[in-house]
Amino acid sequence: MVEFKNTEPVGHKKVLLASPRGYCAGVDRAVIAVEKALDHYGSPIYVRKQIVHNIHVVTNLEKRGAIFVDEVDEVPPGSILVFSAHGVSPAVVKAAEERNLQTIDATCPLVTKVHREVQRFAAENYDILLVGHEGHEEVEGTA
Protein backbone atom coordinates (compact mmCIF):
# COMPACT_ATOMS: atom_id res chain seq x y z
CA MET A 1 0.00 0.00 0.00
CA VAL A 2 1.26 3.45 -0.88
CA GLU A 3 1.22 6.09 1.82
CA PHE A 4 1.59 9.77 1.24
CA LYS A 5 3.68 11.68 3.72
CA ASN A 6 3.08 15.35 4.27
CA THR A 7 6.11 17.56 4.21
CA GLU A 8 6.64 21.17 5.06
CA PRO A 9 5.05 23.56 2.58
CA VAL A 10 7.37 24.76 -0.18
CA GLY A 11 6.39 28.31 -0.93
CA HIS A 12 2.65 28.21 -1.40
CA LYS A 13 2.59 24.54 -2.43
CA LYS A 14 2.46 21.40 -0.34
CA VAL A 15 4.73 18.49 -1.32
CA LEU A 16 3.50 14.91 -0.88
CA LEU A 17 5.98 12.05 -0.98
CA ALA A 18 4.79 8.56 -1.86
CA SER A 19 6.21 5.81 0.29
CA PRO A 20 7.33 3.38 -0.91
CA ARG A 21 8.33 4.98 -4.19
CA GLY A 22 8.54 2.87 -7.32
CA TYR A 23 11.62 2.63 -9.44
CA CYS A 24 12.28 4.07 -12.86
CA ALA A 25 11.48 2.48 -16.22
CA GLY A 26 15.15 1.56 -16.75
CA VAL A 27 15.20 -0.52 -13.58
CA ASP A 28 11.85 -2.05 -14.47
CA ARG A 29 13.32 -3.02 -17.85
CA ALA A 30 16.40 -4.57 -16.20
CA VAL A 31 14.34 -6.65 -13.77
CA ILE A 32 12.22 -7.91 -16.67
CA ALA A 33 15.42 -8.82 -18.55
CA VAL A 34 16.54 -11.05 -15.66
CA GLU A 35 13.08 -12.61 -15.36
CA LYS A 36 12.98 -13.34 -19.10
CA ALA A 37 16.50 -14.79 -19.01
CA LEU A 38 15.44 -17.12 -16.19
CA ASP A 39 12.32 -18.13 -18.13
CA HIS A 40 14.26 -18.75 -21.35
CA TYR A 41 17.55 -20.25 -20.13
CA GLY A 42 16.62 -21.51 -16.67
CA SER A 43 18.84 -21.08 -13.65
CA PRO A 44 21.43 -20.14 -12.86
CA ILE A 45 21.56 -16.69 -14.41
CA TYR A 46 24.37 -14.55 -13.05
CA VAL A 47 23.84 -10.84 -12.48
CA ARG A 48 26.73 -8.44 -11.93
CA LYS A 49 25.97 -6.34 -8.86
CA GLN A 50 22.41 -5.85 -7.68
CA ILE A 51 20.04 -5.38 -10.59
CA VAL A 52 18.35 -2.71 -8.48
CA HIS A 53 18.93 -1.38 -4.99
CA ASN A 54 15.83 -3.11 -3.61
CA ILE A 55 16.33 -6.13 -1.35
CA HIS A 56 12.82 -7.47 -2.01
CA VAL A 57 13.32 -7.57 -5.78
CA VAL A 58 16.80 -9.09 -5.39
CA THR A 59 15.53 -11.76 -2.97
CA ASN A 60 12.68 -12.73 -5.32
CA LEU A 61 15.08 -13.08 -8.24
CA GLU A 62 17.47 -15.14 -6.11
CA LYS A 63 14.60 -17.50 -5.26
CA ARG A 64 14.06 -17.98 -9.01
CA GLY A 65 17.73 -18.80 -9.61
CA ALA A 66 19.52 -15.51 -10.17
CA ILE A 67 22.97 -15.38 -8.62
CA PHE A 68 24.31 -11.92 -7.86
CA VAL A 69 28.08 -11.44 -8.09
CA ASP A 70 30.36 -8.50 -7.58
CA GLU A 71 32.95 -9.37 -10.20
CA VAL A 72 33.00 -11.14 -13.55
CA ASP A 73 35.62 -13.64 -12.35
CA GLU A 74 33.02 -15.11 -9.98
CA VAL A 75 31.00 -16.34 -12.98
CA PRO A 76 31.86 -19.76 -14.44
CA PRO A 77 33.19 -19.54 -18.02
CA GLY A 78 30.47 -19.91 -20.65
CA SER A 79 27.67 -18.86 -18.29
CA ILE A 80 25.05 -16.18 -18.83
CA LEU A 81 25.71 -12.83 -17.18
CA VAL A 82 23.32 -9.89 -16.98
CA PHE A 83 24.74 -6.39 -16.56
CA SER A 84 22.65 -4.37 -14.10
CA ALA A 85 20.59 -1.27 -14.85
CA HIS A 86 23.50 0.85 -13.62
CA GLY A 87 25.77 -0.14 -16.51
CA VAL A 88 29.36 -1.34 -16.65
CA SER A 89 32.72 -0.08 -17.79
CA PRO A 90 34.38 -1.25 -21.01
CA ALA A 91 36.84 -3.20 -18.83
CA VAL A 92 33.96 -5.27 -17.41
CA VAL A 93 32.65 -6.00 -20.91
CA LYS A 94 36.14 -7.11 -21.95
CA ALA A 95 36.51 -9.34 -18.87
CA ALA A 96 33.18 -11.00 -19.70
CA GLU A 97 34.30 -11.62 -23.28
CA GLU A 98 37.57 -13.14 -22.04
CA ARG A 99 35.58 -15.62 -19.90
CA ASN A 100 33.40 -16.50 -22.90
CA LEU A 101 30.29 -15.31 -21.07
CA GLN A 102 27.00 -14.79 -22.83
CA THR A 103 26.01 -11.30 -21.75
CA ILE A 104 22.69 -9.53 -21.55
CA ASP A 105 23.09 -5.79 -21.23
CA ALA A 106 20.25 -4.51 -19.04
CA THR A 107 21.79 -1.05 -18.69
CA CYS A 108 19.15 1.66 -18.46
CA PRO A 109 18.95 3.51 -21.81
CA LEU A 110 19.31 6.82 -19.97
CA VAL A 111 22.54 5.60 -18.34
CA THR A 112 23.80 4.48 -21.75
CA LYS A 113 23.01 7.95 -23.08
CA VAL A 114 25.11 9.51 -20.32
CA HIS A 115 27.99 7.13 -21.16
CA ARG A 116 27.86 8.12 -24.83
CA GLU A 117 27.65 11.84 -24.09
CA VAL A 118 30.64 11.67 -21.74
CA GLN A 119 32.63 9.82 -24.42
CA ARG A 120 31.61 12.37 -27.04
CA PHE A 121 32.52 15.40 -24.94
CA ALA A 122 35.77 13.80 -23.75
CA ALA A 123 36.72 13.15 -27.40
CA GLU A 124 36.20 16.88 -28.01
CA ASN A 125 38.59 17.64 -25.12
CA TYR A 126 35.96 18.93 -22.73
CA ASP A 127 36.68 18.61 -19.03
CA ILE A 128 34.18 16.23 -17.46
CA LEU A 129 32.98 16.66 -13.88
CA LEU A 130 31.35 13.46 -12.66
CA VAL A 131 29.50 13.55 -9.35
CA GLY A 132 28.55 10.24 -7.79
CA HIS A 133 29.46 7.59 -5.26
CA GLU A 134 33.01 6.29 -5.63
CA GLY A 135 33.00 2.62 -6.57
CA HIS A 136 29.34 2.59 -7.66
CA GLU A 137 28.92 0.72 -10.94
CA GLU A 138 27.11 3.61 -12.61
CA VAL A 139 30.02 5.94 -11.87
CA GLU A 140 32.59 3.34 -12.94
CA GLY A 141 30.71 2.72 -16.17
CA THR A 142 30.61 6.42 -16.93
CA ALA A 143 34.18 7.31 -15.97
Active site residues: 138
Spatial CA neighbour of 122 closest among 142, 140, 107: 142
Contact 97, 77 (CB under 8 A): no
Question: In angstroms, rounded to a whole number, what is the distance separating the alpha carbons of residues 23 and 46?
Answer: 22
The helix/strand count (H/E) of the chain reads as 5, 6
> Going by C-beta distance under 8 Å and a sequence separation of 6 or more, which residues neighbour residue 31?
51, 52, 57, 61
Question: In angstroms, rounded to a whole number, what is the distance separating the alpha carbons of residues 46 and 103?
Answer: 9
Spatial CA neighbour of 99 closest among 127, 85, 80: 80
